[in-house]
Structure 1
Amino acid sequence: MFPLFSPMLIYEWMLKLNFPKRKLGLRSILNLMGDGAAILAGQFTLFDLSIFHEFEPPPTGGGHQFLRALWKQAEAKGLCVENNTISRTTRACLFNSFNFRESRLVRLRRSSVLYVHRVDGPIDVYRGREDGVDKNIHAVNLKFAEKTIFQSQYSLQKHLELGMEFKNPVVIMNAADPDIFHSHGRAEFSRNRKTRLIASSWSDNVNKGAPVYQWLDEHLDWKRFEMTFVGRSPVVFKNIRMVPAVDSYRMAELFHEHDIYITASRNDPCSNSLIEALTCGMPAVYLKSGGHPEIVGGAGAGFDEVEELPGLLEQVTGQYEAFQSQISIPSIREVGEEYLKVLELIP
């Protein structure tokens, strides 16, 4: 008799489930065996919610951070959460954008599970090139989803403009993990010192704002301001302090040390970095693009042209307390409850 999860038993299950019998490479074989093991394990494990997403270790982008925070909120509600598997008791599956292995979801799919698709983008618009990513996401949505969660009204409307209608869409903004991002312990703001600016990006794509930050590097009054850039940039700055990508805890510390967050990312549907900065108590100066205006509301000032930035920075510095008082970001508890209601896991 074979051990419960022996390779031979997994192989026999693969044959019974009509896994492909064509000649396969090593990676495909390992994926198939992993899927077979997941199917077997699903007969014996007990979960409520499955999150299909390929998590990466920090420091990583905001999507990973948000889904980790959502996972914690689900567990706080007494729900058991699994990753990239579906057990016999799983009631709902949240699959994220295109950041998961579709073939695995096909093999593990159960008719009793509610499938909800979390969508951002349009990603090709965001990246500034046509790679067919959004068409693929739309096809996946039509294939699997019963409901869709967009992260901003901008994202939903932009997809509609591109002729893409998704299954039963709702809009739920992201939120930051309050155990990491909060306003407690902030450095006190003072007009008797330089105003401290900060920007960040985990990608060196020029649409993340590097040309704007380069303009600031060359034109900002450095007797009035100092600035830090955290993450990856295609530009090396002369006056802006550059810090390599850091984990969330260090990012929160840096937010606490600065006064105003600047984001110049273009067509960004729902910037987690912007949400985290606001949650840490910083007003923002932002490019009027993507979901930025929805997120910031009255807690900052928007620009269309880079030449507007010096005046806007002076304005926010001069009325700092008024802008700061307008920060209104939903908590992860509120956002988590909205997600769990859409997933039909809580009433």
Structure 2
Amino acid sequence: MFLSKYFKTQECSNHLGTVSINFRPVNESYGGMNVFVKQISRWLVDRGYRVVYELNPDVDIVLVAHPWLTHTDPYGFDDVQAFKRANPKVQVLLRINECDKRKKTMHMDQWLAQWESIADHTYFISQWLCDHHALNWFDKKRSHSCIYNGADPRIFHPVGGSTYDGFGPLRIVTHHWSDNPMKGYPDYQKLDSQIAAGDIKDVEFLVIGRWPADINWQVTKTHGSAHGKKLADLLRGCHVYLTGSHWEPCGMHHVEGIQCGLPVIYHRDGGGIVELARRYGIEYSDDLGSAIEQMRDSYETYRKTALNDPPRSGDEMCLRTIDIIQKMRVI
């Protein structure tokens, strides 16, 4: 299926190559990987490539963005392995965005190692994730790179955002598509209780997305899953982004918050999150309340950093990925 079904673009008569992606993007909230596929698909077409979500004889590059099968995946490992054997000139680019440590699973690293065995180049979505896998199974002598996540700057930007002036409540926001407790929900629930008890004052907390079914929020404001402009508007309506996620390979949620101009409070054990977040905010471990008060006092400093030295956006993420694809095309 061609990209024209998802983006209204004029196809070029002469393509630089055909890239097949093993995940068909959906126009709804579906995590950071879906955000990546939508962005890279658009950029590939803009740079002269044809994008498909299937394996056919015209394919030059297989971009593996989703190393496990779901209802949105058109093909899996066995299909790619057989396709590559039948078409030796086909190159496989593997994007690694997962690890067992994140959700306390026991299968993901094994799947990734299997995929890597047929990859011509592997790229990790954070240096932390690369180092983590190198300690377990990945050989850094293999062709690889690290490209940090970025959000679409047409949508996630600070224009029209709220600013905390020291008066009124400090509005804190988080958002997650996953309801896994490792996303930080024990900390979010504790913050909700502290605000309700009056232990933390002049703070409003907004949770967007999904959360464990056993959580009954007391004073926290909630909003269902959102994406695109709706999500960005909700983020820009707040002052500070909070992520309590543990051992995140990289994440897209905090990136979207920072690109909207929000300073960030992040957990010390955030994994790949820490690489970016430490430039734009304050870490915490056990005492989230103290981090919030520190952010209240230092808000202007971190806000200016987010505005004057913003993180690399999704545009650069995509261009760096296309640079790799271009090199693979001329090998």
Instruction: Give 1:197's aligned amino acid.
Output: I
Aligned to 1:200, the other structure's residue is in SS state: strand
> Where does structure 1 lack aligned partners over 5 or more consecutive residues?
1-44
**Alignment equivalent of 2:285, drawn from 304, 322, 335:** 304
- Aligned equivalents of 1:75, 1:242: Cα separation in 2: 37
Whole-angstrom distance in 1 between the partners of 2:266 and 2:174: 10
Aligned match of 2:194 in 198, 207, 219?
Answer: 219
1:231 aligns with 2:209: yes
Cα separation, 1, equivalents of 2:315 and 2:225: 27
- Contact kept? 2:22, 2:66, Cα under 8 Å: no
For the Cα contact (< 8 Å) 1:53–1:84, is it kept in 2?
no
Shift, 1:54, TM fit: 4.2
Supply the distance in 1 between the matched residues of 2:267 and 2:111 (Cα, whole angstroms).
28
How far, CA to CA, are the matches of 2:312 and 2:66 in structure 1? 22
Residue deviations 1:62-89 (CA, integer Å, cap 9, x gap): 110111111112222122211233442x
1:55 deviates by 3.2
Q: Which residue of 1 aligns with 2:60?
A: 91
Rounded to whole Å, the distance in 2 between the matches of 1:58 and 1:262 is: 22
The CA distance in 2 between the partners of 1:69 and 1:274, in whole Å, is 17
The match for 2:103 is 127
2:295 is matched with 316
Change (3 A) 1:341 1:218: same
CA distance in 2: counterparts of 1:79 and 1:315, whole angstroms: 48
Q: Distance in 2 between matches of 1:86 and 1:177?
A: 30
2:272 aligns with 291
- How far off is 1:97 after superposition? 4.0
Identity of aligned residues (%): 23
Counterpart secondary structure, 2:161: coil
Deviation at 1:104, TM superposition (A): 3.0
Q: What stretches of structure 2 of length at least 5 have no aligned partner?
A: 1-13
Corresponding residue for 1:102? 77
Q: How many residues get paired? A: 297
The one-character-per-residue Cα deviations of 1:277-320 (angstroms, maximum 9, x if unpaired) are 11111010000121121011321001121x2x122112222221
Alignment partner, residue 170 of structure 1: 145
Deviates more, 1:215-224 or 1:250-259: 215-224
SS in structure 1 at match of 2:187: helix
Task: Give the match for residue 160 of structure 1.
Answer: 134
Deviations 1:187-218 (A, max 9, x none): 23321111100011111211111100011011
**Contact 2:153–2:315 under 8 Å retained in 1:** no
- The aligned counterpart of 2:25 is 55
Residue identity matched to 1:184: V
For each residue in 1:167-205, what CA deviation from the matched residue of structure 2 results, as whole angstroms up to 9, or x when unmatched? Answer: 412100011012221111112332111110001111121
- SS of 2:234's partner is helix
Q: Write the distance in 2 (CA, Å) between the matches of 1:304 and 1:161.
A: 24
2:218 maps to a residue whose letter is: K
The answer as to whether partners of 1:97 and 1:137 remain within 8 angstroms in 2 is: no
Residue 65 of structure 1 pairs with residue 65 of structure 2: no
Larger radius of gyration between Structure 1 and Structure 2:
1
Supply the AA of the counterpart residue of 1:295.
L
Task: Say if 2:319 is the partner of 1:337.
Answer: yes
Letter in 1 for 2:137: G
**RMSD after superposition:** 2.0
Distance of 1:128 and 1:244 partners within structure 2: 26
Secondary structure of the residue aligned to 1:319 is: helix
Runs of 4+ in 1 over 3 A off after TM superposition: 54-57, 106-109, 220-223
Judged with a 3 Å threshold, the aligned counterparts in structure 2 of structure 1 residues 76 and 189 are, in CA distance, closer, same or farther, namely farther
Alignment correspondent of 2:89: 112
Q: Are positions 1:281 and 2:257 aligned together?
A: no
TM-aligned CA distance change 1:178 to 1:86, over 3 Å: farther
Q: CA deviation at 1:326?
A: 2.2
Which of 120, 123, 144 is residue 146 of structure 1 equivalent to?
Answer: 120
Aligned residue for 2:5? none
